[in-house]
């Protein structure tokens, strides 16, 4: 009976230790740039876009769970497939200046399975109205 208890105890300990080792590995999105200034843009020319590039600098695949903009005038596009460790990915952010003359500052919150669960990307600029 004690031999079975010892084996069961040993098995539980091994599972616990292997779980701790996995916890040390993680995904991590490292963005080259987190801010983009469009400068002056023309309302008449329509939407403008920029791309935020990131690298998975972690040890596990990185999954972009969601990317949400601070308003409906801003639209993020992000990869749906996991990004392998050491590989790059891109998030495209499009801003629609139609009916929005003047200065703007918008954010996109990127949620991941990474060590940093959320990253804020920022865009800004000034819209010159149609004449």
Domain presence at residue 13: no
Domain presence at residue 4: no
Q: What angle do CA 64, 70, 75 make, to 5 degrees?
A: 60
Is residue 2 over pLDDT 80?
A: no
According to DSSP, the residues that pair with 13 across neighbouring strands are none
Longest dimension (CA), the chain: 89
| Mean per-residue pLDDT, 64-76 | 97
Question: Per residue in 74-125, pLDDT tens?
Answer: 999 999 999 999 999 999 999 999 999 999 999 999 999 998 899 999 999 9
Q: Which residues contact 93 (CB under 8 A, 6 or more apart)?
A: 36, 49, 50, 51, 52, 69, 74, 75, 76, 77, 108, 121, 123
Is residue 17 over pLDDT 80?
A: no
CATH number of the domain enclosing 91? 2.60.40.10
User: What band does 15 get if pLDDT is binned at 50, 70 and 90?
Assistant: very low
Q: How many domains does the chain have?
A: 1
Domain presence at residue 17: no
Residue-number span of the structural domain to which 63 is assigned: 27-128
Domain presence at residue 38: yes
């Amino acid at each position: 009976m004690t031999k079975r208890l010892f084996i069961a105890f040993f098995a539980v300990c091994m599972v616990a230790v292997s779980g701790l080792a996995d916890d040390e590995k993680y995904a991590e999105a490292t963005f080259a740039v987190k801010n983009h200034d469009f400068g002056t843009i023309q309302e008449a020319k329509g939407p403008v876009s920029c791309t935020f590039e990131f690298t998975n600098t972690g040890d596990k695949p990185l999954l972009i769970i969601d990317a949400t903009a601070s308003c409906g005038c801003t639209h993020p596009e992000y990869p749906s497939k996991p990004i392998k460790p050491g590989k790059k990915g891109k998030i495209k952010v499009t801003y629609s200046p139609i009916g929005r003359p003047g200065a703007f500052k918008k954010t996109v919150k990127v949620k991941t399975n990474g060590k940093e669960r959320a990253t804020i990307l920022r865009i800004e600029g000034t819209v010159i109205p149609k004449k």
